Amino acid sequence: MKYFIKIFSFAKPYKLRIFFSLICSLLFVILNNASLWMIGTLLSTILNPNKINNTNNIINQNSAILQLDKITQQLLGSGDSIEQLKILCITMLVIFLLKNIFFYLSNVNMHYVNNRMIMDIRNKIFTHIQKLPMSFFHNNKVGEISYIAVSDAARMRTAVSVVLNKLTKEPLNILMMGTILILINPKLTLISLIIIPLVGIVVIKIGQSIRRKTLRSSKQIAGVMSILQENISGIEVVKSFVQENSEMKKFKNETLKYFKLMFRENKLTSITSPMNDMIGVSIAVILLWVGGNEVFKYNTLDPDNFIKFIVFLFSVLRPIKSLAGVNLSIQTSIASAERVFSIIDVNPQIENEKTKKILDFNEKIKFENVKFSYSDGDKPVLGNINFSIPKGKKYAIVGESGSGKSTLVNLLPRFYDIDSGDILIDDNSIYDISMNSLRKMIGIVSQDTFLFNNSIKNNICYGDNDENYSMEEIINATKLANAHDFIINTEFGYDTIIGERGIKLSGGQKQRLSIARAILKNPPILIFDEATSSLDTKSEKIIQEAIDNLLADRTVIIIAHRLSTIINADKILLLDKGEIIEEGNHQKLLSMDGKYKDLHSTYLEKK
């Protein structure tokens, strides 16, 4: 019920359309029953053209039915049989036309609500994802998140369409048809009512099982998507290590598991309809036998009314059958809702209510007793981090792989929140600065360059919400990043589409575009995480000169394995197992005869 209420919260903005759809459904039900009554009248007219309107010889004839017959007779008039038949056919045509108009209006409005709901749910998921901390993405697979946002979100709408459409239209149909059946013959109707609840018990049990299997199959297909996405993204690695067969085997194993889950679910779903049909036919056969005896043997049921009873009986089986599948649809929707809300209910990254908006800083960036671990209870990745970076200075962070270099710089833009201590910009804690203004102050060239499937120009201008950069500014940035020459030699220059993740470019070209993007942003703080590791020696020298030109009134943090890129840094921090063990400029660290000197010696040997 909890998830059911949450699903319906997405339908609330469309309550007027839903109300209109329900009104149309009500009118459809009334006209549908009227059409069935007219069909029964038509059949009795055809089968019994010489019928006598006097029904005094019928025992226990219901007064309401007599009244309906009287109204029908008045509608048909007192003409001859052909004239009455003509009026009956015209009346049926009008009733069916109006019935289907209201059916169309009801369904169109409900489809509008359903599709808007899918859009709103997906937008809600995507918007919420943007606010989640980086730890969420490290703990969840991309393929699974994608599947939930696309497929599970689509399944959620079924609950609303089923409840608002079937659980209003079909029960009204059953109620009205059932009332007419009772009025025609209570005994036959009672026999139906005794058997029908047995169907409901079976359907509910099957529905509960289907819900469990749907939840498991949704998780499994998300795992399949994750493997597929991971394989395509890393296809170069797969081929280089000749792991195609291994990957195919892994993928086939996962799809086989999904097949088994889906087949079990489909077997349960498929058995529901035949069961309902057989139960429905069994009811009909019993009622035909009992009703036929009342007409021919006991003379307690008018033949014309028996024909109408049969028409209504077989008509009521359709909404009953449709209603029997409602529970299956709802259980599937709830299973999908559980997965959707497993994302939506994750707490977003917290931002203080009274945060400041700053565009620059005057003095320094300061780390005070910073401690950090990726998850509660995990061993700290960083501990006892204390240092200050004066404005306009160039600081470098070095250390062996896994020492915490990238993690340390990721704390500054609040990609992760620290466990204890504080990070200050001037005297302002970064937790008292609005996240948007904090990140706008920082330009980042990351170790793993990510480019969008867009033009070169749009990739360089990414984040241009307010600036509206001129073409001259863009070209200047690319020249500083040593990217202009290769850009103008591409097929469409700055308008060239570079493919998913920039696949049409080399590693060095992608790195230079990323640097140009950071240069164009022109922030007071620059972070270069392995920024020059993908460039050749010539390009690295040019980029290094460009970085040096940007140092005026800017703070630069560099992480690099190539120690030649940080020799001129104002201070170098050496990290080891999450702690700063040495700090100073290049010459000072060499003179300390410590771990930095060992790293430098190793670098010279490799060179």
Q: What is the DSSP string of 371-432?
A: EE-SSTTSPPSEEEEEEEEETT-EEEEEESTTSSHHHHHHHTTTSS--SEEEEEETTEEGGG
Q: Is residue 429 part of a domain?
A: no
Number of domains in the chain: 2
* β 525-529/382-390 pair status: unpaired
Do residues 31 and 153 both lie within one domain? Answer: yes
Q: Do 344 and 354 form a contact (C-beta atoms < 8 A)?
A: no
Structure tokens at 350: 């917290």
Nearest to 270 by CA among 319, 200, 210, 335: 210
Residues in the chain, overall count: 607
Please give the pLDDT value at position 538.
66
Taking the C-alpha atoms of residue 518 and residue 477, their distance in angstroms, rounded to an integer, is 9
Same domain, 599 and 465: yes
Same-domain status, 453 and 327? no
What is the bridge-based pairing of β-strands 394-399 and 555-559? parallel
395 phi, psi to nearest 5 deg: -110, 145
Residue-level pLDDT at 200: 61
Q: State whether 186 and 79 are in the same domain.
A: yes
For residue 335 the two structure tokens come to 């299973």
The domain boundary residue, chosen from 309, 328, 344: 344
Stretches where the chain sits below pLDDT 50 are 52-59
Instruction: Give yes or no: residues 90 and 225 share one domain.
Output: yes
d(CA 367, CA 389): 9
Instruction: Confirm if 533 and 406 have CB atoms less than 8 A apart.
Output: no
Q: Judge whether 350 lies within some domain.
A: no
32 with 139, same domain? yes
In whole angstroms, give the CA distance from residue 474 to residue 451: 16
Domain final residue, candidates 305, 325, 344: 344
Element (H, E) at 557: strand 555-559
DSSP secondary structure string for all residues of 500-556: GGGTTS-HHHHHHHHHHHHHHH--SEEEEESTTTTS-HHHHHHHHHHHHHT-TT-EE
Task: Tell me which of 344, 364, 380 is where a domain ends.
Answer: 344
Res 366: pLDDT? 93
Inside any domain, residue 63: yes
Residue 246: inside a domain, yes or no? yes
Burial category of 15 from C-beta neighbours within 10 Å (exposed 0-12, middle 13-18, buried 19 and up): exposed
Please report whether residue 189 resides in a domain.
yes
d(CA 228, CA 284): 51
Residues 328 and 467 in one domain: no
Q: What range defines the domain where residue 487 resides?
A: 394-400+441-606
Round to whole Å and give the CA distance between 265 and 211: 9
- The whole-angstrom distance between residue 22's C-alpha and the CA centroid of its chain comes to 28
CA-to-CA dists, residue 69 to 38, 315, 506, angstroms: 10, 20, 84
E strand or H helix that includes residue 575:
strand 571-576
Give CA angle at 374 (372, 376), nearest 5°: 90
Is residue 381 one of the residues assigned to a domain? no
- The CATH number linked to 269 is 1.20.1560.10
Q: How far is CA 498 from CA 88, 96, 448, 493, 514, in A?
A: 69, 57, 16, 11, 13
Is 386 part of a structural domain of the chain?
no
pLDDT at 553: 67
Distance of CA 59 to the CA centre of its chain: 62
Do residues 54 and 61 make contact, with C-beta atoms less than 8 angstroms apart? no
* CA gap 50, 295 in Å, rounded: 17
Give the pLDDT of residue 447. 72
Q: State residue 159 phi and psi, 5-degree precision.
A: -60, -45
Residue 332 shares a structural domain with residue 450: no
385 within some domain: no
